[in-house]
Amino acid sequence: MERCAGCTRIWRMVQCSSWQTITRKRTGLNAMKIAVSACLLGVECRYDGAAKPCEEVLALGEEHVLIPVCPETDGGIRAPHPPNEIATFERALRVMDAEGADNTDAFLAGAQKTLERVREEDCTLAIFKAKSPSCGNGRIYDGTFTGRLVPGYGVAARLLRSEGIRVLDEQQVRVCLAVSAARHPGMPAALLAEASSECPTLSTERLVLRPFVEDDIQDVFAYCSDPDVGPDAGWAPHRTLEDARFFIEEIASAPHVFGVFERVADGGCGPCVGSIGLIGDPQRRNVDCLMLGYALAKQAWGHGYMTEASREVIRYGFEELGLSLITCTHYAFNDRSARVIKKCGFEYEGVLHAVEASPDGILQDAALYRLTAEAWRRGR
């Protein structure tokens, strides 16, 4: 098998009959397990019997554990074979090859085996081959074999996404990695962070957004114990320092959650005046969507800090995490939060009535907003 330089550097051994996990020595951080289309790693398993090695994906094997998968091979379709496309003009799923054979069952079986492998390896991210009828993520060929692309997902990609596993194609990953490398030289890519400690520090003109550390407990307690702060965001005021410690160690330790700090003259951090982050939206089953959440100390109100911080975190979500949608919600009475959200370009979606009880036990309505990556780019 011929391989590019990247394949030779990363792979210890690849036998098409027995694909093995690709792993390298990892320093510092915990290695993420990533399911990857085998053709992107140099395996000659495409329909034409070729491979499509991707240097940027191969390089991830220096720090992470790459799990090769090929849904079509797992479904019993051996390379080379006629090209397949999803008949996107039909309502029911049907996968046909260029000679008219219906391979839907094989594609479904291969997708299921891929899902089982991904679950067995405990992967939360998959990097799949763009435009493939198995692995395509967002754009696939339309089933006419004319080279026309339409919105859609390959059979395996849609199954993994429905099970809560993030799927990106190599083109999306390439963009995210490039932005992270340009903005945070020498830091791990934000896309691969599994804890806040692995996330980069973000900055704006007046603020520094960085992961919380233990030394921030006093500052966090100071604003989280204020009865004018927590209840508007849906949580009871902190009563002890242990409440603040729990917040930092258990809640804010999730990836893409940051403390908000005033920038001082030398570019360092002043006191912590709030928190902001991107977390899962419980109202949506969309692996490309996260929800913006924030809280700000009362003494920092009225300076535009949260709008400034939100804009940077939104940029981070779309450019460095490759999200397609960011949502936001606030209690219907929270006019201050509504102003921040609207300034950031979110579109109002409506009200979800009696969504949850606030700390005083009263059922509250929630205003819902969304911002798509496309709308954000248009508005920049």
- Given pLDDT bands bounded at 50, 70 and 90, which one contains residue 54? very high
Q: What is the pLDDT of residues 146-170, one digit of tens each?
A: 999 999 999 999 999 999 999 999 9
Average pLDDT, the chain: 91
Percent of the chain with pLDDT over 90: 86
Q: What is the pLDDT of residues 104-146, one digit of tens each?
A: 999 999 999 999 999 999 999 999 999 999 999 999 999 999 9
Is 350 strand, coil or helix? Answer: strand
Residues 6 or more apart whose Cβ sits within 8 Å of residue 146: none
Q: Which range has highest mean pLDDT (5-14, 24-33, 254-263)?
A: 254-263
CA angle 363, 364, 367 (to 5 degrees): 155
- State the Cα–Cα distance between residues 221 and 96, nearest whole angstrom: 60
Mean pLDDT (whole number) for 325-332: 96
What is the Cβ-side half-sphere exposure of residue 53, based on CA atoms within 13 angstroms?
A: 21
Instruction: Tell whether the model's pLDDT for residue 11 goes beyond 60.
Output: no
Taken in order of first residue, the domains within the chain and their CATH numbers are 5-173 (no CATH), 195-379 (3.40.630.30)
Residues 6 or more apart whose Cβ sits within 8 Å of residue 282: none
Instruction: Tell whether the model's pLDDT for residue 6 goes beyond 50.
Output: no
Least confident of 5-9, 52-56, 105-109, 153-157: 5-9
Mean pLDDT (whole number) for 83-96: 95
Instruction: Tell whether the model's pLDDT for residue 244 goes beyond 60.
Output: yes
Instruction: Tell whether the model's pLDDT for residue 20 goes beyond 60.
Output: no
Q: What is the pLDDT of residues 346-357, one digit of tens each?
A: 999 999 999 999
Which own/partner pairs from 354-363 qualify as long-range (CB within 8 Å, at least 24 positions apart)? 356/234, 358/231, 358/234, 358/331, 359/230, 359/231, 359/234, 359/235, 359/236, 359/237, 360/231
| Global pTM value | 0.91
Instruction: Tell whether the model's pLDDT for residue 227 goes beyond 90.
Output: yes
- State the Cα–Cα distance between residues 297 and 220, nearest whole angstrom: 9
Least confident of 27-36, 42-51, 367-376: 27-36
Q: Which two tokens stand for residue 103?
A: 């391979």
